[in-house]
Structure 1
Amino acid sequence: MRQLHEAIGRQFAQIVTVSGTRNTLASAKSLWSDCRKVVRYLSEEAPDLPGLGALRVEHAREFWADLTRKNSASAAAIIGNVNVVLGSDDSLDSGFLVELGRPRRQNRSANRDGLGKDLSDAEFERVKAAARSQVVDIRQRVRKGHRLIEAYRNDPEAVPAHERRLAALLTEFADTGFMPVLAPLGPDYQYNKGRMKFAAHISLVEADMMPLLALFCCLSGRNSEIVKELPFRHEIRDGVALSCKVVKRRSGKHSWNETAVWEIGRESRQLHEPGGFFLLIQELTSMARPHVDQDRLFLTWVNPYGKYRDGFRFAWSQGLDQIKMLWAHWAREQNLVNDDGGELVFDLNAVRTAFIRQRSRALGGHAPSSTFQNSLEVLFDNYLRGDPETIQWARNLVADTYRDVEVMIRAQHAKTFQATGGRIPSLDDDTSEGAPDPALRAYNSCADLLLGPVNPGEPCRASVLTCFRCPNALVGERHLPALVHLERDLRERSETMPIHDWWALFGQAWMALTEDVLTRFTDAQLNAAEEAADDFPPLEWLEDAA
């Protein structure tokens, strides 16, 4: 078993180095935690195993079964980490690796807070409105404390008597960064709960992080890890936009940083534009910033816990999962419901997906950053599939495209036959001069076979369908049975092949038939032609005819 431990340790050490694939503290801890699970399992179930090369298919199956019993919702993620560590060892049995990596159906009902639940547009707007409402209260609370300190610094006697003691302690707190003795303020400010209430007068506290994080994700469309690690350092561009460097943990070691640019907007739009909201958070943390040496936007005051002293610090200084984000609980507190009136279950990944889906439709189907990070299939499956508004938008787009095609074909037809009023000339039944051979005469006639568009100067070799966009074309009542038959064939063909291919092949002939040629005949003539229709060449022959 010691050899097994050493082998797994060597593989782990290679992966978490600078040149490895897991080179952040959080990813290394996650990997190490899952490695411990497989080592503990093997120590209990196969203590005599000499090394990794002795692992077989049955070990993989039993490990899967054990994980599913204990961690049904995260078994696949744990196996993924184990595969990362073990997959590069040449001594492993190939059957073990194949069985370990085989997809299993997972019970997702155990997922915390409904991970992966999509939000409709209406649900997304309700989440954003609830977060914005809470942020309004936070802004009013902190600004009131800042104004009280400013008034006390300017003239202590001008502060109302019932607030003067609180103002004095808040000023001391802001200047030193240390919690003063709160006994003079009475029982409401005792113990940890009272200390947190006191700090909340001038600073953000942990309870504020969920609405702030939710609203920033709703406004910016960024994932929660990027928002949590936003830097304080930024630039204002031309007074209308804000830019800052963001950390992208999910983009690989070669794409860890990106410059985000957000609109600031008017001051009244602070809670509607990501740039304006960024500056608001900067304002709300201004009292804490002199006491924190980290370049982070989200600063908070925390009570002492464990070995950590109380004080101002970066909200996620102990890890990005330091503050528990129970979104289902938050949704219940805000009385949020889904579109069916039931409990709203979501996470911030669903918020980001809803944002990108809305932005995709607004930009004509393109998701700004996702277009070059994902394939078209991933974009459709994760952002647009099943969304009713997207489906309607796509239908409207297709309809508009075909309308544009029809307009273009009509314009081309009118230009081709401009000399005859935009219509194919009629053929006098007694005129046979310039008519083509019998096979082609059935559908139309030609004024001059030597002036065709394909090979001028020689007998025309264009297909019969091309004749409907040729200025030499002539049609008469003698052609009507064949034209009626052709119109029926084209209509039937449109039901059996992709519509865009159909338009490319037959659109010009179809428009000429239905809007020019057949409209010049009466219903009686058309009915007689339908009854008199004989056997005509298949449509494939007309496509290939020369």
Structure 2
Amino acid sequence: MNGTLVVSFHGDDGRHAVFDVSRLPLPGWHRALAAAFAARTGPAGGLRTRAAASTGWGSLVRLMRFLACLPRPPAVPNQLTPEHLMAFHAHRVATAPATGHQDLARARLLFSLPGLREQVAPQVLDHLRQRLPAPRTPQVAQAAGTGSAVSPPTGAGRLTTGFSDGELARLLAALRADAATIRDRIRSGQDLLRRYRADPSALEDRERRLGRMLAQMAATGQVPVPPGARPNPFAPERQQLAGHLFLTLRDLAPLLLLAAALSERNGETVKELPVAHRMLEDRAVELVIVKRRRGARRWFETVTWEIGAPGRELHTPGGFYLLLLELTARSRRLRGSPSPLLWSVWRNGYAAGLGAPDDHCAPFEHSLRGTPILPSAWAADRPRPLLADPPPGTPGRPGEAQPLQVSFNRIKTSMEVRRTKRMGGHLPSAAKSNTMPVLFRNYLSGDPVITTWAEEVLGEAFADAEQAARRAHEHAVQAAGGGPRVLPGPAGAPALEAAGLVPPVARQAADGDLDTGWSACIDHTRHPLTGRPCQVSFLDCFHCGNCLITRTHLPRLLGLLRALAQRRRELPEGQWWQHYGPAWVAIRQDILARFTPAELEQARTGEEHDALLDLVENPWQAP
């Protein structure tokens, strides 16, 4: 039509749309906006699906309507000022905190394109290039003087963390049970149809009547009203009859959720599974899937899914994909127009407002949100509803159990956590459909399951390291004369002589003449293991039979423990245990345990700052 200015969109997801720029206010902006939005949604732009393009269009519409409502609106792009954009951001934050920040971010991307960049003032571009204001919570917005409380965004109370191991096991069992029921139902109907076509007279009267209706349904795609039912196209008996040959809308929830769990992909990817595929020696299936939000020209990914053994199609992604092709094949053939997407279901045409009895449709052909799935409603409406685990530390009586909140995001998070645990926490191996930073930031960080598992792994690793250090200490003690002599109580010469030291050595030890780094050595000229002058590190003294430790050495030993604790924060855990673990075990378990709490408390008052650890390391000898 004359005077119209539109942007035609053809997305990478196969969907199309038309955006009428001429219906926006401020006609002086139309040509520049059309050029910029066409570039933003074009082949090299960042909005390459219909959903993404519609979201970007919504932000543009809100910006132009806000500008048009100003007392002095900018009639053309070069009249726009930074104050206009700041006012728009403040208005959006006050009225829609969940999307206000995103609207300004989308405006920045739009104004950076050639269609608008040359027509706005330089100071506007400079303002947009600055770091965007941090998004504010509704409470902050109210405190800032907006005058009214802003309700939290929709879904703010929904759980986003993954399921516990018990919840995930129950969920997968329920999904497989429902999928098996759907599979057996359709295969049973197909078998009856085959037997009816082969020899109707061989069937019983009830099966013959049902087979006759199934043959009519298979030929026309229309579901008749069963005999004895109300002559009403909305009769529930028609829904039940259609399920003998076709998937129905109520079948989508368990099948989609199980496909997401087995493929370890998000709900968007599963909704857009293609029909086209390639078999690889009957062992795997290869297909091209859509992975959104990867940037321009990176939407598609070729994957190979294992098929598995016969009868295991509910446990492998490739086997389940082939099963879905089987269950949707008849409905896809009866549809009026072909679609590259796998999903096809029967629906009541009158209930859908089509003015026809029945319809076979691809539920996600035009929009991923066109058909609501409601996973939590499916979980709650089952004959045996799925319940969440009780919070930690509560007895969890059956009457207080809460329904399990199910979503594609929670399933994806749980499968990412499960794979990461299976890979031993090695992120390069665990990263499958996302980069390592995205995997950690969006799925693993803060998830209680992965946090608990990591704590258990670290606890086991620390226990193993401590046991290894203990064994190393015991081995060194056996090889070096039985370990140090620890003498609690008085440290004078008489006490040392009573402990078995010869008088000259006892007097030297009491006077401190035999002190080394943190202990004393009664004979450094003859090592118990070699019989030669000692050449080992001072840290190895704690395993040696020549080592003598009295109450006077406690302040230095406590200072050494503090230095070892500091070194533990500076080194990888494995390296610390290897270098310092045996000495730490000897001091903590074999030496300090021999002194009374009063002796240790008195020693802490005179605890010395350790300055010897760096010296005994001999860093100049390190390669």
Smaller-chain TM-score bracket = 0.7 to 0.9
Q: Give the aligned partner of residue 516 of structure 2.
A: 440
CA distance in 1, matches of 2:158, 2:321: 27
Shift in alpha-carbon separation, 1:523–1:58, aligned structure 2, 3 A:
closer
Shift in alpha-carbon separation, 1:52–1:498, aligned structure 2, 3 A:
farther
Residue of structure 2 aligned with 1:245, choices 285, 288, 300: 288
Indicate conservation of the 8 Å contact 1:60/1:99, yes or no: no
Higher alpha-carbon deviation: 120-129 or 18-27: 120-129
Q: Give the aligned partner of residue 381 of structure 2.
A: 333
Indicate conservation of the 8 Å contact 2:444/2:450, yes or no: no
CA distance in 2, matches of 1:533, 1:42: 71
Q: Give the aligned partner of residue 144 of structure 1.
A: 188
Any idea what the Cα deviations from partners look like across 1:399-419, whole Å, max 9, x if unmatched?
322233334434555666665
Q: Give the aligned partner of residue 396 of structure 2.
A: none
Residue of structure 2 aligned with 1:406, choices 443, 447, 466: 466
Q: Give the aligned partner of residue 394 of structure 1.
A: 454
Residue of structure 1 aligned with 2:244, choices 188, 201, 220: 201
Aligned residues: 529
TM-score by length of 2: 0.70
Indicate conservation of the 8 Å contact 1:300/1:313, yes or no: yes
Whether 1:191 and 2:233 are equivalent positions in the alignment is yes
Aligned to 1:252, the other structure's residue is in SS state: coil
CA distance in 1, matches of 2:131, 2:450: 39
Any idea what the Cα deviations from partners look like across 1:10-59, whole Å, max 9, x if unmatched?
22111111111122333223322332222233223367313344444553
Letter paired with 2:217: F
Letter paired with 2:299: W
Any idea what the Cα deviations from partners look like across 1:214-251, whole Å, max 9, x if unmatched?
22223332101111111234455565554433221232
Higher alpha-carbon deviation: 330-339 or 1-10: 330-339
Aligned to 1:249, the other structure's residue is in SS state: coil
Q: Give the aligned partner of residue 314 of structure 2.
A: 271
Q: Give the aligned partner of residue 103 of structure 1.
A: 135
CA distance in 2, matches of 1:3, 1:448: 97
Aligned to 1:286, the other structure's residue is in SS state: helix
Higher alpha-carbon deviation: 208-217 or 499-508: 499-508
CA distance in 2, matches of 1:287, 1:31: 38
Higher alpha-carbon deviation: 404-413 or 1-10: 404-413
Whether 1:48 and 2:73 are equivalent positions in the alignment is yes
Q: Give the aligned partner of residue 453 of structure 1.
A: none
Whether 1:13 and 2:38 are equivalent positions in the alignment is yes
Indicate conservation of the 8 Å contact 1:482/1:533, yes or no: no
Whether 1:352 and 2:384 are equivalent positions in the alignment is no
Alignment of 1:62-461 (within 5 A): 62-64=87-89, 66-67=91-92, 73-88=98-113, 89-90=116-117, 91=120, 93=124, 94-95=126-127, 101-105=133-137, 109-112=152-155, 117-121=160-164, 122-175=166-219, 177-179=220-222, 182=224, 185=227, 187-188=229-230, 190-191=232-233, 197-235=240-278, 241-291=284-334, 293-304=338-349, 311-334=359-382, 335-339=385-389, 341-366=401-426, 370=431, 373-375=434-436, 379=440, 382-385=443-446, 387=448, 389-413=449-473, 419-420=479-480, 423=483, 430=504, 440=516, 443-445=519-521, 447=524
Q: CA deviation at 1:154?
A: 0.9
Q: Give the aligned partner of residue 4 of structure 1.
A: 29
Q: CA deviation at 1:213?
A: 1.0
Residue of structure 2 aligned with 1:543, choices 598, 607, 614: 614
Shift in alpha-carbon separation, 1:130–1:442, aligned structure 2, 3 A:
closer
CA distance in 2, matches of 1:528, 1:317: 79
Any idea what the Cα deviations from partners look like across 1:283-307, whole Å, max 9, x if unmatched?
2123234446444332223455678
Q: Give the aligned partner of residue 484 of structure 1.
A: 554
CA distance in 2, matches of 1:530, 1:184: 89
Shift in alpha-carbon separation, 1:444–1:234, aligned structure 2, 3 A:
farther
Q: Give the aligned partner of residue 454 of structure 1.
A: none
Unmatched segments (≥5 aa) in structure 1: 451-457
Indicate conservation of the 8 Å contact 2:364/2:370, yes or no: yes
Indicate conservation of the 8 Å contact 2:163/2:411, yes or no: no
Residue of structure 2 aligned with 1:475, choices 535, 541, 546: 546
Indicate conservation of the 8 Å contact 2:225/2:235, yes or no: no
Indicate conservation of the 8 Å contact 1:354/1:383, yes or no: no
Letter paired with 1:135: A
Indicate conservation of the 8 Å contact 1:64/1:100, yes or no: no
CA distance in 2, matches of 1:497, 1:357: 32
CA distance in 2, matches of 1:120, 1:355: 9
Aligned-residue identity in percent: 26
Aligned to 2:193, the other structure's residue is in SS state: helix
CA distance in 1, matches of 2:414, 2:604: 57
Indicate conservation of the 8 Å contact 2:162/2:447, yes or no: no
CA RMSD of aligned residues (A): 4.5
Q: Give the aligned partner of residue 27 of structure 1.
A: 52
CA distance in 2, matches of 1:114, 1:332: 18
Indicate conservation of the 8 Å contact 1:226/1:246, yes or no: yes
Q: Give the aligned partner of residue 489 of structure 2.
A: none
Any idea what the Cα deviations from partners look like across 1:453-498, whole Å, max 9, x if unmatched?
xxxxx998x97446557xxx66344x42354333333445566775
Letter paired with 1:373: N
Indicate conservation of the 8 Å contact 2:175/2:255, yes or no: yes
Higher alpha-carbon deviation: 304-313 or 230-239: 304-313
Aligned to 2:287, the other structure's residue is in SS state: strand
CA distance in 2, matches of 1:512, 1:104: 54
Higher alpha-carbon deviation: 393-402 or 526-535: 526-535
Indicate conservation of the 8 Å contact 2:288/2:303, yes or no: yes
TM-score by length of 1: 0.78
CA distance in 2, matches of 1:359, 1:136: 25
Shift in alpha-carbon separation, 1:205–1:113, aligned structure 2, 3 A:
farther
Any idea what the Cα deviations from partners look like across 1:194-225, whole Å, max 9, x if unmatched?
76554332011222212211222233321011
Higher alpha-carbon deviation: 213-222 or 531-540: 531-540
Alignment of 1:464-543 (within 5 A): 464-465=538-539, 468=542, 475-477=546-548, 479-492=549-562, 498=568, 501=571, 503=577, 506-514=580-588, 538-543=609-614
Q: Give the aligned partner of residue 495 of structure 2.
A: none
Shift in alpha-carbon separation, 1:73–1:338, aligned structure 2, 3 A:
farther
More helix by share: 1
CA distance in 2, matches of 1:466, 1:291: 82
Higher alpha-carbon deviation: 491-500 or 116-125: 491-500
CA distance in 2, matches of 1:64, 1:539: 57
CA distance in 2, matches of 1:527, 1:20: 74
CA distance in 2, matches of 1:205, 1:143: 15
Aligned to 2:346, the other structure's residue is in SS state: strand
Indicate conservation of the 8 Å contact 1:113/1:326, yes or no: no
Shift in alpha-carbon separation, 1:162–1:414, aligned structure 2, 3 A:
closer
Unmatched segments (≥5 aa) in structure 2: 1-25, 139-149, 391-400, 487-499, 528-532, 619-623
Q: CA deviation at 1:539?
A: 1.2
Aligned to 1:301, the other structure's residue is in SS state: strand
CA distance in 2, matches of 1:67, 1:532: 64
